[in-house]
Amino acid sequence: MNNIDNIQIVMVNTSHPGNIGAAARVMKNMYLHTLSLVDPVCYPHANATAMASGADDVLATANVYADLPSALHASHLVIATSARNRRLSIPCLTPQACAKKLYTEAQNGTVSLLFGRERTGLTNEELGYCHYLVEIPANPAYRSLNIASAIQIMSYEIMQVYLQAQDMAEQVKRENKEVLASGEDIERFYQHLEQVLIKIQFLYPERSPQLIRRLRRLFNRIHLEQNEVNILRGILTAIEKQ
């Protein structure tokens, strides 16, 4: 299982089935596949399938629960989206910080991101199950955000973290495959380089004793790989033949 699949999008008491389908569509666009529905008003429904527009697999594997505790039974981290100011002592995260926390914690098991009802959001009792809140910045004069749009924004932020992690993992794999040149081979290269530079009358040791030291510093910054040393020495050999 891909660890991003440990991130569960939870929609609570959704009224419009079209919003469920739209949410499934944006989730699949952003590499998310784990959808849980808590007491949906009308589901399954043809409008949900129509709005999913090809993300039928997300709908087909969606879990439906009668209550929120059942949906959260496996989650060790729960973050809720909330647009209303509440007098609750729950720490609030930005969307970016929320995405990073969800992805990091998803490496250790199931985590949940909650979205409330279209009109009223989540109740204070439901928020009591949450470790953090996340607030999507919006115009203070008009903070009404469609639930599918909110899920798209948060899914995008999660995808960004996921792709960065994938890139880093690929880079580590590439670096692990690359064999760095040994100290002995690098010394042979420096000796070869010095000999060729003298032969082509670019280097006069008595006139420019600092040049080789500068060239050493230049190549040492690169951390030459074995193949790179072989290429450089091949170039030096070709120069000698000319």
| 38, 113: one domain | yes
Q: Which pLDDT score, from 0 to 100, does residue 85 have? A: 56
| 166, 225: one domain | no
Mean pLDDT of 165-177: 78
The better pLDDT of the pair 209, 230 is held by: 230
Q: Which pLDDT score, from 0 to 100, does residue 223 have? A: 84
Separation between Cα atoms, residue 242 and residue 236, nearest integer Å: 10
The residue segments making up the domain with residue 191 are 183-241
| 21, 126: one domain | yes
| Among the listed residues 21, 5, 9, 54, the one whose alpha carbon sits nearest the alpha carbon of residue 154 | 9
DSSP assigned state of 202 = S
- Does the pLDDT value for residue 1 go beyond 60? no
| 235, 147: one domain | no
Q: Which of these three, 125, 152, 175, is where a domain ends?
A: 175
| 45, 143: one domain | yes
| 77, 114: one domain | yes
| 60, 116: one domain | yes
Span 7-66, pLDDT tens digits: 999 999 999 999 999 999 999 999 999 999 999 999 999 999 999 999 999 999 999 999
Span 61-71, pLDDT tens digits: 999 999 999 99
| 152, 218: one domain | no
Q: Which pLDDT score, from 0 to 100, does residue 171 have? A: 77
Q: Which pLDDT score, from 0 to 100, does residue 140 have? A: 85
Please spell the DSSP secondary structure of 169-199, one letter per residue: HHHHHHHHHSPBPPHHHHHHHHHHHHHHHHH
Distances (CA, A) of 90 to 78, 122, 211: 11, 14, 62
Q: Which pLDDT score, from 0 to 100, does residue 93 have? A: 94
DSSP assigned state of 227 = H
97 pLDDT band (50/70/90 cuts)? very high
Q: Which of these three, 135, 156, 175, is where a domain ends?
A: 175
Please spell the DSSP secondary structure of 66-125, one letter per residue: SSHHHHTTT-SEEEEE--S-------EE-HHHHHHHHHHHHTTS-EEEEE-BTTTB--HH
Pairing of strands 132-134, 77-81: parallel
Mean pLDDT of 195-216: 89
What percent of the chain has a predicted confidence (pLDDT) above 90? 74
- Does the pLDDT value for residue 227 go beyond 80? yes
In the chain, how many domains are there? 2
